[in-house]
Amino acid sequence: MYLGIDLGTGSVKALLIDGDGKAVAEAARAYPVSSPMPGYAETSPADWWAQTVAAVRACCDGHGGDVRGIGLSGQAHGLVAVGADAKPLRPAILWADQRATAEMEAVLALPEAVRRPLANPVVSGMAGLSLLWLRRNEPATYAAIRRILAPKDWLRLVMTGEAATEPSDASMTLLYDVGAGRWATDVLSSLSIDPAILAPIVESHSIAGRLSAAAAAELGLAAGTPVAAGLSDTASCLFGMGQTKPGSTILQVGSGIQIMSVVESIEPRVQPFYNSYRGIGGNLYSMAALQNGGTVFEWARTVLGASWAEMYRSGFEENEGNGGVIFLPYVTGERAPLLDPNASAAWANMRLGCTRGQLIRSVFEGVALAVRDSWDALRGVGVSADRILLTGGGSTDPRWQQMLADILEVPLVPAHDLGNATIGAAYLGGMAAGHWRCIEAIPFPDDLGRPIEPRPFQGLDALLPRFRATYRGLKHA
């Protein structure tokens, strides 16, 4: 059997699969994210370990001795600063952290030729910026650093005693040359960062260490079990769904929304709106990350005093339409495709006869139009797909699925049971154990839903440009 562990932002998940890739057991345990100051997001790594132990023991109860390989995935961009004793020097700084705004300016001031190989937008929450913040604000901590690690890489350090990372998480640090597939030496030199604190990069499916006797005793597993290097959560999601060929594209709808597409190659750009990352086996994928998904619906529902039943009834069944109302869904600023942390939500074009039902309808349309905005922008840089797999907990209602297909004008294929980051991690455990010797040997599930074909969306040709013009008008007002 093979164990996958996914270290998420608010919980850790463990999944046990058999040699045919079928789920045997699973478990999850939660831990808190703290915000000691506005805009901060941190977690104690000790909480990660305690809840990982609990989740693995619950998942593998009665099967601990049968686990032959372990794979990892985890939240991206986070920074764990480790000292000489391999212990964390402070709480981990997470991807959602917004403290490193001054450090953004320092990186943006670098010459374009130095920055271009990063192939990613400079936005707060990425590990390289968090590291610079530590140097400026916590110099004693910075001076004591011997390694910086991504969250799942720190977890593997505890499990094996070995420090390493792999291309997917490395490519998310703003310290990595995405095209060349190595640490960005010019950036490190320009920012006076000692490359010795960066972990060696190994392949995601390779053995990055073996379970130590101490960790094995805590987890209830066998000492010496191989542990794969792993993948970041988005890369592991693509892998877990078997989406490894160029053109494979996923629309993942949750609190935020991600459009991920495997690509043949990338053209590094300075401050692009989209991310370019490494995946399994040297794969490259482009990702448009929208901050505003399910969070927007919950916010609008609360503001309007509507139940979820009323949201869906007004949004799809009562046929009031939007009454000409345009809704901008940027309640938390926005990344793709705007790269505007100051973007804000707005209802525009309301008149005296405007109803609450029309406002609700405009919320669904506004989120879908924002997805279309990012998809068009991705197509503008060469991303293409003849269909998009649809997944995520915020995409299960068939009426909402149809609206997304209609506004995107691309067939959507529901793939909620196809795979996820945790099963991607478990597959890596099987590869580390030698059970699957190549990606093509993995029995990826293929139980796709019936394609949702796009239908003509009334007024879309006028609605989309009005949506974009409303944002531009408010931005420059």
235, 264, 287 — which closes off a domain? Answer: 235
Residue 186 structural domain: 2-235
Domain check: are 146 and 291 in the same one? no
Query: pTM here?
Result: 0.92
- Does some domain include residue 442? no
- Please report whether residue 65 resides in a domain: yes
Per the omega criterion (within 30 degrees of 0), is the bond before 88 cis?
no
Per-position pLDDT tens, the chain of length 477: 999 999 999 999 999 999 999 999 999 999 999 999 998 999 999 999 999 999 999 999 999 999 999 999 999 999 999 999 989 999 999 998 989 999 999 999 999 999 999 999 999 899 999 999 999 999 999 999 999 999 999 999 999 999 999 999 999 999 999 999 999 999 999 999 999 999 999 999 999 999 999 999 999 999 999 999 999 999 999 999 999 999 999 999 988 899 999 999 999 999 999 999 999 988 999 999 998 999 999 999 999 999 999 999 999 988 789 999 999 999 988 999 999 988 999 999 999 999 999 999 999 999 999 999 999 999 999 999 999 999 988 888 999 999 999 999 999 999 877 778 999 999 999 999 999 999 999 999 887 889 999 999 999 999 999 999 999 999 876
Does residue 82 sit in the same domain as residue 171? yes
In angstroms, the CA 320 to CA 95 distance is 40
From the list 98, 111, 228, 257, the residue with the least C-alpha distance to 168 is: 228
Domain identity same for 226 and 257: no
In a domain, 435, yes or no: no
The SS3 assignment for 76 reads coil
Residues 392 and 255 in one domain: yes
**Total tally of structural domains belonging to the chain:** 2
CATH number at residue 205: 3.30.420.40
User: Rounded to whole angstroms, how far apart are CA atoms 399 and 265?
Assistant: 35
Non-local CB neighbours of 55 within 8 Å, separated by 6+ positions: 5, 12, 13, 14, 27, 28, 29
Q: Does residue 28 lie within any of the structural domains?
A: yes
Q: Which of 200, 235, 270 is the last residue of a domain?
A: 235
Judge contact between 18 and 443, C-beta under 8 A. Answer: no
Q: Are residues 129 and 267 in the same domain?
A: no
